[in-house]
């Protein structure tokens, strides 16, 4: 572990944490794709109140749950693959030493890098598994939500709870996907720390563009046309 390794790792961690703050807690967060879709989730639950038969809503929830389950299963497979790398250190070190940009790596350095990859994939599994659980809770809340015509004050409060549960599930799902993207950047460290910084910057640029200047964001239209959440009088 050289000084360059520590600098590259610090840049990687700072990029990950900085991006999370930017898309979740900064003053720019409200303009991002994730935040815009959170407001649409409120509109979805608002529309759901007027449907007596909610097959559409249950079908959407099923799709969301399947996506979270797929990524949770994939994370377990990736975690197992990362653990298997610990047993093939000698072969991997010989392969890396033959790469044009590769630098000599000690056994300790190799194992430290692999353990970092294991930690990332373990984190993704917990995020996707918890997201799947939260989507289950959201489905139950949808089933417990009455029609607006029957119990208006209680119905709007129930719809808001369901919307907030789907938003929490989506937030953990997004964090899990973000970890997978940064895991791809992390692989650059196995070559050398300078490649790690380049791949991290590349992944960061791609994700930033998708959040704040992508076709998906443009498809939502102007921000002032976002579907609003129920007014405060309907939330109590």
Q: 22 pLDDT exceeds 70? A: yes
Average pLDDT over the chain, rounded to an integer: 84
Q: 106 pLDDT exceeds 80? A: no
Q: What is the pLDDT of residues 52-84, one digit of tens each?
A: 788 888 899 999 999 999 999 999 999 988 888
12-39 average pLDDT score:
89
Above pLDDT 70, what percent of the chain? 84
- Estimate the crossing angle of helix 152-186 against helix 3-24, to 10 degrees: 160
Token pair for 128? 């996707």
Q: 96 pLDDT exceeds 60? A: no
95-118 average pLDDT score:
71
Per-residue model confidence (pLDDT) at position 72? 94
Q: 87 pLDDT exceeds 50? A: yes
Angle at 63 between CA 206 and CA 17, to 5 degrees: 35
Residues in the chain: 236
Rounded Cα distance, 171 and 166, in Å: 9
> What is the pTM for the complete model shown?
0.84
6-23 average pLDDT score:
92
> Minimum mean pLDDT among 23-27, 173-177, 208-212: which range?
23-27
Domain boundaries, the chain: 3-20+31-235
Per-residue model confidence (pLDDT) at position 190? 84
33-53 average pLDDT score:
86
Q: 38 pLDDT exceeds 60? A: yes
3-class DSSP string for the chain: CCHHHHHHHHHHHHHHHHHHHHHHCCCCHHHCHHHHHHHHHHHHHHHHCCCCCCHHHHHHHHHHHHHHHHHHHHHHHHHHHHHHHHHHHHHHHHHHHCCCCCCCCCHHHHHHHHHHHHHHHHHHHHHHHHHHHHHHHHHHHHHHCCCCCCCHHHHHHHHHHHHHHHHHHHHHHHHHHHHHHHHHHHHHHHCCHHHHHHHHHHHHHHHHHHHHCCHHHHHCCCHHHCCCCCCHHHHC
Say if residues 32 and 211 touch (Cβ distance below 8 Å): yes
Dihedral-angle region of residue 120 (phi above 0 means left; psi in -120 to 50 means alpha; beta otherwise): alpha
Q: Which residues of 48-73 are buried (b: 16+ CB within 10 A; e: fewer)?
A: bbeeeebeebeebbeebbebbeebbe
Per-residue model confidence (pLDDT) at position 231? 44
79-104 average pLDDT score:
66
Token pair for 154? 């209680």
145-164 average pLDDT score:
80
């Amino acid at each position: 572990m050289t000084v360059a390794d520590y600098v590259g790792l610090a840049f990687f961690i700072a990029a990950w944490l900085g991006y999370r703050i930017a898309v979740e807690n900064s003053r720019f967060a409200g303009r991002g794709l994730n935040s815009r879709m959170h407001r649409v989730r409120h509109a979805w639950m608002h529309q759901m109140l007027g449907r007596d038969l909610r097959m559409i809503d249950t079908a959407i929830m099923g799709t969301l749950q399947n996506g979270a389950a797929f990524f949770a299963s994939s994370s377990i497979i990736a975690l197992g693959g990362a653990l298997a790398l610990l047993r093939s250190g000698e072969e991997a070190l010989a392969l890396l030493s033959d790469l044009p940009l590769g630098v000599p790596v000690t056994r300790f350095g190799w194992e430290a890098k692999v353990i970092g990859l294991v930690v990332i994939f373990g984190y993704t599994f917990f995020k996707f598994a918890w997201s799947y659980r939260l989507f289950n809770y959201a489905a139950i809340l949808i089933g417990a939500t009455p029609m607006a015509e029957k119990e208006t004050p209680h119905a709007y409060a129930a719809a808001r709870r369901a919307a907030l549960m789907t938003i929490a599930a989506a937030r953990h799902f997004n964090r899990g996907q973000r970890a997978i993207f940064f895991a791809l950047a992390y692989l650059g460290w196995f070559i050398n720390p300078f490649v790690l910084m380049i791949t991290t910057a590349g992944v960061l640029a791609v994700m930033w563009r998708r959040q704040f200047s992508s076709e998906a964001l443009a498809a939502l239209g102007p921000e002032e046309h976002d579907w609003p959440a129920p007014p405060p009088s309907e939330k109590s």
